[in-house]
Structure 1
Amino acid sequence: MPNTLLTPATGTATAPFEYEQLENSVAALRVSIANRLVYAVGKDLRSATRRDWLFALFHAVRDRMMHKWRETLAVSQDSDAKRVYYLSMEFLTGRALTNALLSVGIYDDAREACTQLGADFDALIDLETDAGLGNGGLGRLAACFLDSMATVGLPGMGYGIRYDFGMFAQKIVDGRQVEEPDYWMVNGNPWEFMRPEFSYEVQFGGRLVQEGDHVRWVDTDDVIATAYDTGVPGHELTSVSTLRLWTARATSGINLDAFNKGDYMRAVEAKNESENVSRVLYPDDSTEHGKELRLRQEYFFVSASLQDILRRYLKSHGSFEQLAEKVAIHLNDTHPALAVPELMRLLVDEYQVEWDAAWALCQRIFSYTNHTLMSEALETWPVDLMGRLLPRHLRIIYDLNARFLAEVHDRFPNENDLLRRVSLIDEHGQRRVRMAYLSVLASHKINGVSALHSDLMVKTIFADFARLWPDRFNNKTNGITPRRWLSQANRPLSALIDARIGTTWRRNLDELKQLRPLADDAEFQSAFRLAKTQNKKRLAERIAQETGIVVSTDSLFDVQIKRMHEYKRQLLNLLHVVTRYQQILAHPNANWVPRTVVFGGKAASAYYMAKLVIKLINDVARVVNHDKRVGDKLKVVFMPNYRVSLAEVIIPAADLSEQISTAGTEASGTGNMKFALNGALTIGTWDGANIEIAENVGLENIFIFGHRTEQVAALRASGYNPRRYYDHNYDLKTTIDRIAEGAFSPEEPNRFHDITRTLLESDYYLLLADYADYIATQQKVDELYRRPNEWARQAILNVAGMGMFSSDRTIREYADDIWKVKPLFQ
């Protein structure tokens, strides 16, 4: 694409130039990789290590994205298009190289080029480290959305933090989770570009000075936020989105005087304190220091992002009159909620925009996605902490709250309790700022992430706000990118689908419905089962390599991989495992369907109960896997360090997907979508997106069990007594008793006392209430698996029904209904 060079001194155009046109043939790629090895990595063929070859391949691929990336940015700027800015504390991107190779369309040619150069392509792919920029579904959703924004061609960017360390790398030592640093950038990150020209001061602490109607924030401790950009290619390089991540730098270097005196710790103390802001994803917030660091992180990234957004807008606009027509800012959960008072601060304090005009702009610019209904997960911050760290923002929040409560009082003068319920400040006990309420107040649109979640959202946590502004609330059911989660992760199944319906389903996932007539085709069923077997063999090899456990690929692969949390009920799954083990011992000659039960997931470092469940899983696995009476009838596996690249191996191999959260607790889920897209059948509660999956694949092609949301509420309201279920169900009682008496921990019989006591005394997430139906439904799973043709038929129908769950569809709905942003490329 023709472009012009700008002189550094004046920024004025000089002469036009042409981008180098890079061919995608094997020969051209071979030359590019060899050249990148020499000129970017600084090695030659004789001295190159695997890391060197990996970086050379990275650079060769990145070069082929640059033309479209620059074009995307140029078209967006030249057309003065409205842009969306997606603010998220997490972007769980996984590995970038394979995704880029497929997006550019050079995967097979790059493999051949590497082979001709003597480099092991598969080893290089496997050498790439997962980016430590996220932990769970929230971050993975954000990554899928960036992929879809690029594929759809929307102008916009993602903003987040460039964490030096991920949350942690999980090791299993003696069955227990051990956290180790996840320094994912230890070998460098060739995918990113440092942008030192985009650096901003972020203020903390200090005091406020009132000068008439104007407020100055002075005597602050400042940190520099510096930008690093990563390109996110869309399918077939439609466009390339930008992920801009901020890293913290100290405003000054080391204390040279202290250093010269030999006091090396004090010499770097201030620098380290400043730069800790972007050091670690999810610092342990069980301490006051951890809480403060987390709040610093949240403000750090939104302040830098807002300053950057306004800088970009002001490049082509002389006033803020068009700000809401050109800028849409989306809050991915409440972590970026401080963007609201920060935008007010920048407009009112820095640019002298009148308060009411600034607030009117905010309410047109911001939108917010809620990801949880659980009160303990709705973010709040102590007033004292915010006042000490961000005094200007606390005052802005108080001012917003006073004006808001006055408006509510005018509308409902006789409902004083309503004012308490909707206030941005929770006055009970330690006074706290309600970040979800702040997000709702500022946003013109608020969405949930599944039909059930969005319905419950307006009936429960935001019921008062829905009464005030019913038109603000809507649903946007989550989606996943089919490029990574089928095309990339499951090449055997993708090749089969390509052979039958063509390749364009990657962009239009609804085309998978063409597979429905093939569900009854014996030949297609056979080919489908063969693809599944190939994936199961790959996983079995990984299991043996990482855990030493040998599993049979003829067994039913029963998988639950997700963040360890009591509401996700990994413990209910384990109760079934123990029950099944007991039954196998009691009836060894019965017609058992062999099962391999696979768990994976990290527990937050301070989450005692979740870590104890990990230990119990591994203790049960140790006993079951070494019991010769059981053999291949049952194997239990806990895969350590669950991450995106591991999920790409596990999900295509799964026969059964465990989505068993207590009804009303899982906002949506996206793992459920990935499994079904890859031909696994779901066993799950009537919760989150399970409901919409059932509606799209057919209720007869999914295993639903357990109490529904309204029944859960009724049980709790009536005084739920878990012991009643324990006393009246022999299998349940035997299972819990075996755990309690130390059958799986003979060296420490009371090791799991806290688990069994919690189950029998409170059982907040109703495991015991759902146990009997869960066990009965697992028997239905066995019955179906004994009929392989029928199982394959239902699995094919699951794949065929997943068209709705593309993140492309979700992003188009956001763009049309919330952001009002149009694609750059038609």
Structure 2
Amino acid sequence: MHSSLTSVRPALHPGFSSPDELWKEILKHIRYTLGQSRVDLSPKAMLRPLALAIRDRLIDGMLETEERYRTTSAKRLYYLSMEFLMGRVLSDNLCNLQLNELCRDTLAEHGVDLNEVLEVEADTGLGNGGLGRLAACFLESLATLGMPGFGYGIDYEYGMFTQEIQDGYQREKPDRWKKFGTPLQIPRPDQSVHVPIYGRCDAHARASQWTDQKLVVGIPSDLPVAGYGGRTINYLRLFSAHASEEFDIQIFNRGDYIRAVEQKIAGENISRVLYPSDQVKSGKELRLLQEYFLVACALRDILRAFLTDNNDLNQIPQKIAIQMNDTHPALAVPELMRLLIDEHGMEWKRAWEITQETLAYTNHTLLPEALEKWALPLLEHVLPRHMNIIYNINHDFLMKVVQSDPLDFERTRRMSIIEEASEKQVRMALLATVGSHSINGVSELHSELIKKTLVPDFAKMFPERFNNKTNGVAHRRWVLKANSGLSELLNRTIGESWILDFDQIKRFEAVADDAGVRSDFREIKRENKQRLAKVIAQTTGVIVDPESMFDVHIKRFHEYKRQLLNLLRITYDYLRVTEDGETLTTPASYIFAGKSAPAYLAATQIIKLINNVARVINADKRINEQIKIAFIPDYRVSLAEIVIPAADLSEQISTAGMEASGTGNMKLAMNGALTMATLDGANIEMLEKVGSDNMYIFGLTAQEIADRQAKGFEAREIYDADPRIRRVIDVLSSDRFSPNEYGLFRWVYETMVYRDRYFHLADLPSYIETHERAQRDFSDRDNWSRRAMLNVARMGKFSSDRTIVEYARDIWHLAAEPQPVTV
């Protein structure tokens, strides 16, 4: 009998035969790994032995999976990313191994609550926002689909930062995510690599020697990634940086202890923290070193694994696919060239062919400030050989550009990898574009804008390289794990096939007209809202009513994501109630969460403004509980898993044309939130699937914004013409929300009226009107529930499984490996 990946419930492997077997494994680790004779049943003490018992089974699965790949000589995909926002990895693996029930029962027999144990685990501090969460979703889908796909990243000691809110301001504290250990990580010190940096090299000679290098050691460890059912277990390989020598003993013996360990400290800073500030020269150098460290460790490790079973480097493109997740890993282009030429003796032409055939590039942004550029002097100082290779790549490429149109000097200037400005810089997005056989965007709109506005000359020169791969999310993480109530309802009404084949979620549409199922759906949402309300009360002291509309805006803080637009509209409602005597159609709780880069002044100002406005509104008795605002600090994956299932309305209100895709929009809709959205990123494709009756669309389109920019948009005209807008701006920029800090929010007026490059005021009237419609609609809870259920049912396209299948088919040419299944 034949069976497909999606037609059966996967075999539970690796697993345990009984609760007794699992408990014996836990006890074994308490004694022999942790060296303890007494069993401490506290949640904190139980985390490590439980994780170690699960890790043993994961290792069995990893080794079996690796043997399967080697036996079939499978082509492998390596995903290079500066971020992997994995969340709590033990709970994720338990879900995919289907061991939650067994673990819960086993621990309960000894008076231990599994949920309390899992709450002890810290979120892995390996990422910040959507870029890293997408990478994590991709790894899960690769494993579930049985594809040989592995992540490569940096093992950050501190991660991004822990966000605290003090007097309304964001304050950053070190994210000590490893303080209780990382028991699932598997150290691989025997596979360490040496990474050369600094030194000297002739600037332009193609075969130049790199001399006088310093070395940094990259020590890897593996984080297992279980596919659903445990049949395939891949891994994320993480490198930590160490000095090549502990310290200079001669200097130490002379008594200069600080200088003796200086090099050791400098080398290990590379993996200390995610995204060091690039506002100072030393920070820029450290960030460049980080990006190079990632690709250098990864590529050396990848080639080493390849050469274990192959001796013909010409076969690399047939056996290896490497995906660069955004521009951070773009140094993979010159580094792969360097390894092939300098260390393996390959001639330049063939090395370049292999490099292009192996590498692929995903672009994630159109914002100029996010498209990395590195100053030539810095690159020549840190990576002289790579700068030499980039010069030669650029020379060869521009020769072809000139041949195709020798008189268009401006086109040649635009297409040069090296920007000829007052300070010459290497444009990393162009380096990745030239060095890859595939360049993809992450939504249909974004991919078109890449070709039309970002690199139009390149799209015309080699159109076959450009394609779209709309993002998706791991629905097993964001529905099955995060929303157990909804998962149980889905299983009861449509069966379990949706877990492995998310297209089957469409069958849920048929029950949307069943009043009993709608009632069950509302009760699940109410329970999720009650759970979130408790978290909000515990973390902020704000009491929100679970019967109110939970209006959720959760994402990294950036001006183009327009948290400020949301606040403008909330302030408009506040003034309607307190000054005009109106009563709102439905009470609403506005829930914000997200971090700002510490050096991003505008975003940190918006966080302060939200918190100050919240403090005033929440205390104003005139508002009579009609509006509540809560800013939940330290947004992270584990918090998102509580917020997302509780949302009624999802705010996806970025300036059209600026959000590449978005994935929070997908997670929220999958969990039964209706979406308030601009026609930006993947919102457009969600609208096509969900239908205009089940989303709230407002604002200018990307083309309308481009037209206004071309004509010279003046926000001042809108401010002068619309008294509603003028009142909101004047109130926010006055001292009403900062009575003890005169002029603190004057920037609101200056920014909105004179520097509104993100079109807040242009979109505000439409946003107000559309939001009022959503509030009216929410008062009909039964019909709202029906529409929410239709959102869930029509989200099949937005699983990362679909995205990975498209990457594998069109870019990586990767196949799923045969796996054992039960029938």
Question: One fold, TM greater than 0.5?
Answer: yes
* Match of residue 172 from structure 2: 179
Q: Using the alignment, how far apart are the partners of 1:472 and 1:589 within structure 2?
A: 56
Q: Secondary structure at the match of 2:123?
A: coil
Q: Secondary structure at the match of 2:329?
A: coil
Unaligned runs of 5+ in 1: 1-19
Measure how far apart 1:99 and its partner are.
1.1
Determine which of 111, 123, 126 is the counterpart of 1:133. 126
Q: State the Cα deviation string for residues 287-321 of structure 1 (Å, max 9, x = none).
A: 11111000000111101111111111111222212
Q: Which moved more, 1:712-721 or 1:636-645?
A: 712-721
Aligned: 1:66 with 2:56 = no
Determine which of 474, 484, 506 is the counterpart of 2:477. 484
Q: Using the alignment, how far apart are the partners of 2:410 and 2:584 within structure 1?
A: 62
Measure how far apart 1:265 and its partner are.
2.4
Aligned: 1:617 with 2:610 = yes
Q: Using the alignment, how far apart are the partners of 2:311 and 2:54 within structure 1?
A: 39
Normalising to structure 2: TM-score of the pair? 0.96
Determine which of 13, 16, 23 is the counterpart of 1:30. 23
Q: Using the alignment, how far apart are the partners of 2:353 and 2:362 within structure 1?
A: 20
Native 8 Å contact 1:367 1:818 kept in 2: yes
Measure how far apart 1:78 and its partner are.
2.2
Q: How does 1:397-546 map to 2 (within 5 A)?
A: 397-546=390-539
Q: How does 1:732-771 map to 2 (within 5 A)?
A: 732-771=725-764
Q: Using the alignment, how far apart are the partners of 2:498 and 2:754 within structure 1?
A: 50
Q: State the Cα deviation string for residues 29-58 of structure 1 (Å, max 9, x = none).
A: 222222222222223454455332001111
Q: State the Cα deviation string for residues 113-150 of structure 1 (Å, max 9, x = none).
A: 11112223221111100000000100000000000010
Q: Using the alignment, how far apart are the partners of 2:381 and 2:539 within structure 1?
A: 47
Q: State the Cα deviation string for residues 534-554 of structure 1 (Å, max 9, x = none).
A: 100000000000011111000
Q: Using the alignment, how far apart are the partners of 1:246 and 1:798 within structure 2?
A: 40
* Match of residue 34 from structure 2: 41
Measure how far apart 1:23 and its partner are.
2.3
Q: Using the alignment, how far apart are the partners of 2:273 and 2:144 within structure 1?
A: 31
Q: Using the alignment, how far apart are the partners of 2:658 and 2:548 within structure 1?
A: 31
Native 8 Å contact 1:22 1:28 kept in 2: no
Measure how far apart 1:798 and its partner are.
0.2
Determine which of 289, 295, 302 is the counterpart of 2:295. 302
Measure how far apart 1:631 and its partner are.
2.9
Distance 1:418 1:50, change over 3 A: same
Q: Secondary structure at the match of 1:645?
A: helix
Distance 1:113 1:817, change over 3 A: same
Q: Using the alignment, how far apart are the partners of 1:30 and 1:348 within structure 2?
A: 54
* Match of residue 661 from structure 2: 668
Determine which of 331, 354, 360 is the counterpart of 2:347. 354
Q: Which moved more, 1:584-593 or 1:628-637?
A: 584-593
Q: Secondary structure at the match of 2:160?
A: strand
Q: Secondary structure at the match of 1:241?
A: strand
Q: Using the alignment, how far apart are the partners of 1:21 and 1:783 within structure 2?
A: 51
Determine which of 171, 193, 199 is the counterpart of 2:192. 199
Q: Using the alignment, how far apart are the partners of 2:451 and 2:583 within structure 1?
A: 50
Q: Using the alignment, how far apart are the partners of 1:278 and 1:665 within structure 2?
A: 30
Q: Which moved more, 1:110-119 or 1:348-357?
A: 110-119
Measure how far apart 1:208 and its partner are.
1.9
Given residue 188 of structure 1, which amino acid in structure 2 is its aligned partner? G
* Match of residue 680 from structure 2: 687
Measure how far apart 1:256 and its partner are.
4.0
Q: Using the alignment, how far apart are the partners of 2:273 and 2:39 within structure 1?
A: 37
Q: State the Cα deviation string for residues 755-790 of structure 1 (Å, max 9, x = none).
A: 221111120000000000000001011111011111
Q: Using the alignment, how far apart are the partners of 1:817 and 1:254 within structure 2?
A: 49
Q: Secondary structure at the match of 2:33?
A: helix
Q: Which moved more, 1:809-818 or 1:409-418?
A: 409-418
Q: Secondary structure at the match of 1:632?
A: coil
Native 8 Å contact 1:588 1:629 kept in 2: no
Determine which of 142, 148, 158 is the counterpart of 1:149. 142
Q: Secondary structure at the match of 2:136?
A: helix
Aligned: 1:208 with 2:208 = no
Q: State the Cα deviation string for residues 621-642 of structure 1 (Å, max 9, x = none).
A: 0000011111321000100000
* Match of residue 103 from structure 1: 96
Q: Using the alignment, how far apart are the partners of 1:555 and 1:88 within structure 2?
A: 40
Native 8 Å contact 1:722 1:759 kept in 2: yes
* Match of residue 5 from structure 2: none
Native 8 Å contact 2:41 2:112 kept in 1: no
Native 8 Å contact 1:740 1:749 kept in 2: no
Q: State the Cα deviation string for residues 552-582 of structure 1 (Å, max 9, x = none).
A: 0000000001000000000000001111111
Q: Secondary structure at the match of 1:276?
A: helix
Determine which of 282, 291, 300 is the counterpart of 2:275. 282
* Match of residue 393 from structure 1: 386
* Match of residue 13 from structure 1: none
Distance 1:211 1:98, change over 3 A: closer
Q: Secondary structure at the match of 2:313?
A: coil
Q: State the Cα deviation string for residues 61-85 of structure 1 (Å, max 9, x = none).
A: 2222222211111111222211111
* Match of residue 631 from structure 1: 624
Measure how far apart 1:22 and its partner are.
5.5
Q: CA RMSD, aligned part only?
A: 1.5
Q: Secondary structure at the match of 1:216?
A: coil
Q: State the Cα deviation string for residues 338-385 of structure 1 (Å, max 9, x = none).
A: 011001001111111010011011111011100011122111100110
Determine which of 762, 775, 783 is the counterpart of 2:768. 775
Native 8 Å contact 1:592 1:633 kept in 2: no
Q: Using the alignment, how far apart are the partners of 1:537 and 1:750 within structure 2?
A: 38
Given residue 273 of structure 1, which amino acid in structure 2 is its aligned partner? A
Distance 1:24 1:610, change over 3 A: farther
Given residue 283 of structure 1, which amino acid in structure 2 is its aligned partner? P
Q: Secondary structure at the match of 1:579?
A: helix
Q: Using the alignment, how far apart are the partners of 1:234 and 1:389 within structure 2?
A: 39
Q: Using the alignment, how far apart are the partners of 1:71 and 1:775 within structure 2?
A: 57
Native 8 Å contact 1:43 1:52 kept in 2: no
Native 8 Å contact 1:177 1:614 kept in 2: yes
Identity of aligned residues (%): 47
Normalising to structure 1: TM-score of the pair? 0.96
Native 8 Å contact 1:609 1:755 kept in 2: no
Native 8 Å contact 1:620 1:744 kept in 2: yes
Native 8 Å contact 2:364 2:441 kept in 1: yes
* Match of residue 642 from structure 1: 635
* Match of residue 648 from structure 2: 655
Q: Give the total of aligned pairs.
A: 807
Given residue 711 of structure 1, which amino acid in structure 2 is its aligned partner? E
Aligned: 1:607 with 2:600 = yes
Q: Secondary structure at the match of 2:183?
A: coil
Native 8 Å contact 1:29 1:60 kept in 2: yes
Native 8 Å contact 2:415 2:458 kept in 1: yes
Determine which of 368, 374, 378 is the counterpart of 2:371. 378
Native 8 Å contact 2:14 2:97 kept in 1: no
Given residue 81 of structure 1, which amino acid in structure 2 is its aligned partner? A
Aligned: 1:52 with 2:38 = no
Determine which of 546, 552, 563 is the counterpart of 2:545. 552
Q: State the Cα deviation string for residues 557-614 of structure 1 (Å, max 9, x = none).
A: 0000100000000000000111111111135462531000000110101001100100
Aligned: 1:808 with 2:801 = yes
* Match of residue 10 from structure 2: none
Q: State the Cα deviation string for residues 383-436 of structure 1 (Å, max 9, x = none).
A: 110011111001101101111111111111222211111000000121000111
Distance 1:477 1:213, change over 3 A: closer
Given residue 651 of structure 2, which amino acid in structure 1 is its aligned partner? E
Q: Secondary structure at the match of 1:454?
A: helix
Q: Using the alignment, how far apart are the partners of 1:529 and 1:212 within structure 2?
A: 69
Q: Using the alignment, how far apart are the partners of 2:466 and 2:248 within structure 1?
A: 52
Q: Using the alignment, how far apart are the partners of 2:37 and 2:613 within structure 1?
A: 51
Q: Using the alignment, how far apart are the partners of 2:211 and 2:539 within structure 1?
A: 54
* Match of residue 160 from structure 2: 167
Q: Using the alignment, how far apart are the partners of 2:515 and 2:149 within structure 1?
A: 46
Q: Using the alignment, how far apart are the partners of 2:19 and 2:511 within structure 1?
A: 36
